[in-house]
Amino acid sequence: MDAISSAAATSACASPSSSSISLTKIRRFNPSKSQSAITRQPRTVTVRSSLNPIVKVGISNGGVMDCSSSNRKILTGTCGYVLEDVPHLTDFIPDLPTYPNPLQDNPFYSVVKQYFVNIDDCVAETIVVHKDSPRGAHFRRAGPRQRVYFASDEVQACIVTCGGLCPGLNTVIRELVCGLYHMYGVTRVLGIEGGYRGFYAHNTIPLTPKSVDDIHKRGGTVLGTSRGGHDTTKIVDSIHDRGINQAYIIGGDGTHKGASVIFEEIRRRGLKVSVIGIPKTIDNDIPVIDKSFGFDTAVEEAQRAINAAHVEAESVENGLGVVKLMGRYSGFIAMYATLASRDVDCCLIPESPFYLEGAGGLFEYIEKRLKENGHMVLVIAEGAGQDLLDESMRPMEQQDASGNRLLQDVGLWISQKIKDHFNVKKMTINVKHIDPTYMIRAVPGNASDNVYCTLLAHSAIHGAMAGYTGFTVGPVNSRHAYIPLYRIIEKQNRVVITDRMWARLLSSTNQPSFMDPERIKQLKIEEKPQQSQLLEWENYSESESVGKTPVDSSKSEGSSSS
């Protein structure tokens, strides 16, 4: 079986018995030969399956399937069905042996009626449709497969955590180690210390179920973390030298960009290594998935700060409690914490511009609320109002090691602006500023997040053992799925301020929108219901070239509300 035959045998909408391939003989990939010595013109292969979808992928480099952004692994079917498939080891390494899944003999799973995922199972990205709507984009359903591509005793796994802290990190680490050991009998798991640079600058630490038994009760990450430090060549060299064949990378969109580059280099070298991302961002700004782990805990912990601000504000004359929460580009924590609290009078997020002075401005609203209630609570996300800061206060396009733009402390800034304004008006005001950022990041995950982290870890393990690579895991409409890395890194999840959830917040706080009515109309026009960026594949005929990429309408339109 050559590389493409093997890919067809493992595709989500193709069964091994019914798949057929129409192509000339493909040169097999030989990892021992130099890549530069194998130079071929790209070719196109069409794969048919029992559900009659068509897969169009580019073949280059002597038989290596090109799953880059210009040649993504797409299956299309009837009624506008689209499967955004994830790469598989057999796409670039032919003739890999398979083994029976150890779960079939696992006493914990033997009582489960159906514990292997059907090869045709997929998860719809959009579930609210009209009767004539195309079926739209789907993702491969997560879960254990009947056959696996790694023998238990050959697996050498590694786990690395990158970026900022987030509640639940230790739970994910624990469940990866325990899941590999108890479900698949994997005993060799390494912890990479200090983020990406730990691959080449630090020692590894062995992880066992005993050593990670109670780490979920602690905040932070036992492996340590850092921003930046990504050196693709050094990282892949380290993976190869250490004999690692499963790399579990936990981090946000920047970390996933690094994981994507690592996967591409591993694929180029033809190494049997699965690269698996586990999405982590406390801001909940990762697209496609329902939410990221740690978000529920962050919202819950933010309540403590809001409650404290409310008590402080109530206890003094014209008290104003200002709470700054996380949210560099997305205001989900501020929005959900506000909705959950019901004590907040105003919520400011990066997606919703506001102004301070004049009719309908923030200062006018604060004065109105103080006269009505005698106190007020204002919640502001860290990325809100950055355009209003004085030029002298703005960092000159400085970035942190992860490439994020450095932000000025908007909580301190807005607190001082409010004091200055009311001092000029000779009006007494007592501002209490609370910044719980690091307190929230450092706590362990709550019960909801701990369960969620367990599901993420187990889904990642099942995908790696089944031979999938270059993917991340997460719930899509409450069903866990395997999502191509490019979908995670192509844009960020943002609050849609023309959506009903933001309207619910406005009705809860009774705050004005602080926006010009004409601007609101324009936003509604821009936020038209969008079709899947991949639906245009249904118009492709078999004779068309695979080199064309569908237009990404999402780049010009806002993301849908979570």
How far, in Å, are 32, 103, 184 from residue 152 at the CA level?
25, 11, 6
Rounded (10°) angle between helices 253-269 and 232-241? 60
Give the torsion sign (CA, 537, 539, 544, 548).
negative
SS3 track for 70-130: CCCCEEECHHHEEEECCCEHHHCCCCCCCEECHHHHCCCCCCCCCCCCCCCCEEECCCCCC
Are the C-beta atoms of 432 and 277 separated by less than 8 Å? Answer: no
β pairing state of 122-124 and 157-161: unpaired
Listed in order, strand segments (DSSP E) in 425-551 are: 430-434, 471-476, 479-484
Residue 241, Cβ density class (10 Å: 0-12 exposed, 13-18 middle, ≥19 buried) = exposed
d(Cα 522, Cα 145) in Å, to the nearest integer?
48
Residue 69, Cβ density class (10 Å: 0-12 exposed, 13-18 middle, ≥19 buried) = exposed
Torsions phi, psi for 37 (to 5 deg): -80, -15
- Residue 392 identity (one-letter amino acid): S
Are the C-beta atoms of 412 and 433 separated by less than 8 Å? Answer: yes
Biggest CA pair distance of the chain? 85
Torsions phi, psi for 532 (to 5 deg): -60, 140
d(Cα 363, Cα 434) in Å, to the nearest integer?
19
> DSSP 3-state assignment of 250?
strand
β pairing state of 74-76 and 54-60: antiparallel
* Given the residues 283, 285, 296, 343, the one annotated as active site: 283
d(Cα 352, Cα 340) in Å, to the nearest integer?
19
DSSP summary character for residue 536? G
Q: Which residues lie closer than 8 Å to 33 by C-beta, 6 or more apart? A: none
d(Cα 432, Cα 273) in Å, to the nearest integer?
52
> 278: which strand partners?
250
Look at residues 170, 150, 151, 138 and name the one whose alpha carbon lies nearest to residue 74: 138
Query: Which residue shows structure tokens 């802290």?
Result: 165
Residue-level length of the chain:
562
Torsions phi, psi for 378 (to 5 deg): -120, 125
Are the C-beta atoms of 362 and 531 separated by less than 8 Å? Answer: no
d(Cα 458, Cα 480) in Å, to the nearest integer?
10
Active site residue 290: no
Torsions phi, psi for 541 (to 5 deg): -100, 165
Catalytic residues: 283
